[in-house]
Amino acid sequence: MGQLERETVAAAGDAWVLSADEMAVVETAEYRLVRFPQPAADPLQLSWVRTTRPAAEVLTEAVVRAREFKLPELFVYAKISAPDGLADALLSRGAVLVDACDLLAMPLPADVKSPELPGLDIRWRTTLDVARDANAIGAEVFGGPIADDELLLPRVEADRAAQDRLTWAQDRAATMTLTYGRTTTSSPILQRLGFTTYGQERMYKLPL
């Protein structure tokens, strides 16, 4: 299979947005602002900005709307389709870079094989036992607490749903698989498995 067009991957990345019950959305042709219900790590998000106007002007308008939610900060996702000048406009307002991920994609169909490493056991996280093991490894490698079963169960259910979505996509002749990977951890692993990176998405925390 040949490589995908960057514009195609960028459009798919823009379309990949989180959804939740009872969330409030303010969407224009130039930005998407979302207020997620509590609890949420980043409850007020500027999901994307795409415009031909100066980025600072659009950011100013989005900030005015964001302040209506009466929260102290706004998390801004600068996707690979973001206009020039958005990062500078954010930094000039006191924003802080808090995360960076590569946007990765692979054309389908694809023959993805797990790496042959001694002692490596790859399992779907579709049972609580596997979820506990994955959580313990994540806590040791990346830091953070050991989650209890009440928190792990939704992740198990999400992975079961992911398996169903993979079957659904295969049945409908999907042409691309898309994911994100942190630049210093999962992205290099995904690239070794056959994914290509098409740009970097950055998340900023902007005080309001």
- Same domain for 10 and 88, yes or no, is yes
- Same domain for 91 and 127, yes or no, is no
Range of the domain at 202: 1-103+198-208
DSSP-assigned letters across all residues of 103-123: EEEEESS--------TT----
pLDDT in tens, 146-187: 888 888 888 888 878 776 776 777 777 788 888 899 888 889
Pick out the chain residues at pLDDT < 50. 1
CATH of residue 70? 3.40.630
Alpha-carbon distance values, 126 to 115, 155, 163, 199 (Å): 21, 8, 9, 31
- Same domain for 153 and 207, yes or no, is no
DSSP-assigned letters across all residues of 39-54: S-SS-EEEEEE--SS-
- Same domain for 99 and 114, yes or no, is no
Q: Count H helices and E strands in the chain, helices first.
A: 6, 7
* Number of folded domains that form the chain: 2
